[in-house]
Amino acid sequence: MYRIYAIILILVLAGNATLMAQENHVQYYELDPVVVTGSRISYRLSASAGSVSVISREEIAILPADNISDILEHVNGVDVRRRGAHGVQADVGIRGGSYEQTLIMVDGVTVSDPQTGHHNMDLPVNLNDIERIEIVKGPAARIYGPNAMGGVINIITRDVNGNSFGVHGAYGEYGYYNMGAQAEMSSGKISNRLSASRRYSSGYLEGKDTDFDIKTINYKGILKNGSNKFKLGMGFSDKDFGAYKFYSDIFPDQREKTETFLLYGNAELKMADMEIMPRIHWRRHKDEFKININEMWNINDHRTDVLGVQVNTLITSGLGSTSIGGEAELEDMESSSLGDHDRWRQSVFLEHKLYLSDRLTIGMGASAVHYSSWGWEYWPGADMSIELTDGLTWFTSFEKSFRVPTYTELYYFTPANQGNPDLKPEKAWTGETGLRWLTDGVTADFSLFYRDSEDVIDWSRRPGETAWQARNIATVRTKGGEVGGTFYPQSFFNTQWLSSVGVAYTYLDSDRSTQGMESKYALDYLRHQINGSVVLTWLPLLKQVIKARYEKRMVGDNYTVVDTRLTYTFPNYEVFLEATNLFNEKYIESGFTPMPDRWIMGGMKFNWD
């Protein structure tokens, strides 16, 4: 590691004279990006009627992270509970909602897993494929249907507009390495992008199964024909990892192997004031889990397929913008422990945005969803945003949302845990109001929210019982608030070394009624969450980002973790050094698996246009 430090120092000194002649101000944020998540009608962030966070490609490039889960760790209001390190497995919740209540998407395609939400972050996407990540903190069932109770995370991949080739490599402690390559080619109406990577570690706990081997391939193709556009996306990921203490402390020796394949195609067909957007998608997920019980390995095999088709029509008129469409989806599972099951879903949706003035927007809509297991349900909502002054917007929303049970909750039976085939979907009403301030030198937001949930699914048991059973027992009322801001000194002062300073705080309080039963996850949420960040420009192209987060749960640990990354950028390549958990904090995010101590790594990236 000291050799890596020395190499970077030499490069800094050798390139200092050249760097001083370069442009000395690099902007790593976009003030008011276009957002496509949280509505089927795209809008500017400043006009959003809810709490939305956008992580740009430029921000991702300087963060101390090599996977999507670690990037989300630094978003306020998002609760990432990792098992292991470097994207092996993570549960992601938003604003006190469970990981099952968060909808995960890639380019607008739902990739949440119907077997269990533990697999929701098995994403066949490399970091260098991502254009931006959009996080909607609040319900979106009237837009996207089931499982968007707590919020939505949409990973949007990059389009291709030129020709380039790039490679990257990194090396670190615990036998870690990360290598990969990507290529882009554009010719006339057709463009293609292909990337591949492999991340490996021999494990951070000596003698324990904490190793991992993760391979990812991603492809995106685009055909442009006049004003029409056709896209094809494919991705595949293979994860083989030690799952030490993932789900049991009594039997800690566990291993898991997952495979995820995603295929989708969509079109954007424009005709006068109308745009038609058809889409098809297929997601296949395989999971092999092994646990050593009394010197005997027990193996569970699962395979799930999700196939869907959707048509969305966007109409623009003097009355505003209208989105109307429908969707059909089939979920099919074969499992050695859960059995073989399938279910159908059909839905229709309608959304309208009314622009009463340049400063006032009102949105309303509803979806009607039919499940083969539960029949029809209806999910309305409305929102409003008002630009009070230049850069300052007040927003409010009120919406109903729901979540359907996973196959694990329905059909998982062991002596310690018993599923329930009679489970009903969870339901919730959520309201939010807040302020957003976007200016050249300061961005800030403040919001208050309240969620009233019923028929919440929890693993519970009566006093004296030993087995946990999945039941619709809980009524949960969650209230909270968020406040945060980022300051960009270079917009006000003649300073170059301090690029930005940001801090954000989230408070949550949940009142849960469980009918006198013991609850397995009743208090499993963050009470306090603080995220801080500093971006320093030591030299014109030498930047350092420092990220710190404090988390305090209602029960369990509280901890503070600091990560940092130093990036030195040349015209066609960059050198970086990063450290996660810089001060060796001892903590557990989920289950029984201790998180790694300080982990130092460094590497280089090359790109040729």
Please report the pLDDT score of residue 145 as a whole number: 80
Q: Is the dihedral of CA 549, 508, 76, 238 positive or negative?
A: positive
How far apart are the C-alpha atoms of 178 and 192, rounded to whole Å? 24
> Domain limits at 496?
2-608
- The domain that contains 210 carries what CATH number? 2.40.170.20
Please report the pLDDT score of residue 136 as a whole number: 94
Element (H, E) at 371: strand 360-371
Please report the pLDDT score of residue 475 as a whole number: 84
Residue position matching structure tokens 């991949």:
157
The identity of residue 396, as a single letter, is: T
Please report the pLDDT score of residue 160 as a whole number: 85
Given a contact cutoff of 8 angstroms between Cβ atoms, the answer to whether 320 and 355 are in contact is yes
What backbone torsions phi and psi does residue 172 show, to the nearest 5 degrees?
-160, -170
Please report the pLDDT score of residue 396 as a whole number: 97
What is the 3-state secondary structure of 151-216? EEEEEEECCCCCCEEEEEEEEECCCEEEEEEEEEEEECCEEEEEEEEEEEECCCCCCCCCCEEEEE
Q: Is the dihedral of CA 267, 268, 270, 273 positive or negative?
A: positive
The backbone region for 306, taken as left when phi is positive above 0, alpha when psi lies in -120 to 50, beta otherwise, is: beta
Q: Is the dihedral of CA 118, 124, 126, 129 positive or negative?
A: negative
CB atoms within 10 A of CB 14: 10
At residue 487's C-alpha, the angle toward residues 485 and 489, to 5°, is 175
Nearest Cα to 171, choosing from 15, 66, 60, 61? 66
At residue 211's C-alpha, the angle toward residues 209 and 213, to 5°, is 140
The identity of residue 248, as a single letter, is: S
Nearest Cα to 87, choosing from 50, 126, 58, 61? 126
Kindly report, residue by residue over 422-450, the tens digit of the pLDDT.
999 999 999 999 999 999 899 999 999 99
Nearest Cα to 404, choosing from 145, 151, 146? 146
C-alpha radius of gyration, the chain, whole number: 24
Query: How many domains is the chain partitioned into structurally?
Result: 1
Q: List the chain residues with pLDDT less than 50.
A: 1-28
